[in-house]
Structure 1
Amino acid sequence: MKTIRNHVDHLFRDVPENEETLLMKEEIIENLEEKVDDLIREGKSQEDAINKAIVEFGDISEIEQAFQEEESKPAPHWLKKSRARLNLEFSLWGSALLIALFAFINFYYTPTVIWFVYPTFAVLWWPLSLFFHWRKQKGGHQ
């Protein structure tokens, strides 16, 4: 029912759209449509059933407040440490793969000139910077 979908979309206009909110919108729409079907079976016209279902549902201020509280919560300390370590590990693997690629290209195409060490120095700044960030998050270097 397009009227219900439009109403729910209007209610969620100020809520950030993500997978959780999309699932919640779909669930609300399904519930409202079931309510409308029940009211129609009881003898109400479709328009009256839709209006009554919408009025009984009310607004989503509690839902909006829950989403705002969830967004405003800072990430837990252990999660920040975990992300820093994951970023460091990713940068180490990524750098190793890039250096291996440069070495392969170097030795395959120009084996007489060793040039892969120059981009290696540039690539190593990535994990080095994340290592210091990880140490700072870990609390070992303040």
Structure 2
Amino acid sequence: MITIKKHVDLLFADIPVTEESLFMKEEILHGLEDKVDVLMAHGKSEEDAINKAIVELGDLTDLRMELAEYRVKPPKSYLAWTHFQFSIVGAALIIGLLLFINIYYTPHVLWVVFPAFGIVWWPLAMYFRCLRVQGEVMN
């Protein structure tokens, strides 16, 4: 029966651990053990019964895909705030690069202010998107 447990563990190796997946894993394990007991009662050796039960179980691709959908997904509001933080860092890096170019090549003309106003719209738009998504989550 250790062979059956190892096979079921291998089938569920890349499926996230949830209540649903643990329940299905136990059900399949008990079903296979019962099938092996029935086959052994009909005169098969333990090894033949285990192999036949595993072969009859099949691939379980559909079940694995269904259980993979139960992965924990971060909430939309969390993702929105992460995108907002990324936009702040990205805008700061771009403005910093432009400031460096401005100071290095044309120190007498401060032209970096004009593209900076345009770049600041990116985090501003992401901030309002965060507020909208958070409002949708609250409702």
Give the TM-score taking structure 2 as reference length.
0.53
Aligned to 1:7: none
**Residue 118 (structure 2) aligns with:** 122
Inter-partner Cα distance in structure 1 for 2:119 and 2:132: 21
CA distance in 2, matches of 1:64, 1:96: 41
The root-mean-square deviation of aligned C-alpha atoms, in Å, is: 3.5
Alignment of 1:73-112 (within 5 A): 75=73, 79-112=75-108
Matched residue pairs, number?
95
Higher RCO structure (Cα 8 Å, ≥6 apart)? 2
Offset at residue 102 of structure 1 (A):
0.6
What secondary structure, in the 3-state scheme, does the structure 2 residue paired with 1:139 have? helix
- List, as ranges, runs of 4+ consecutive aligned residues in structure 1 with deviation greater than 6 Å: none
**1:63 to 2:59 alignment:** no
Q: What is the SS of the residue equivalent to 1:70?
A: coil
The one-character-per-residue Cα deviations of 1:81-131 (angstroms, maximum 9, x if unpaired) are 111111111111111111111111101111112211222122112111101
Q: Percent identity?
A: 42
**Normalising to structure 1: TM-score of the pair?**
0.52
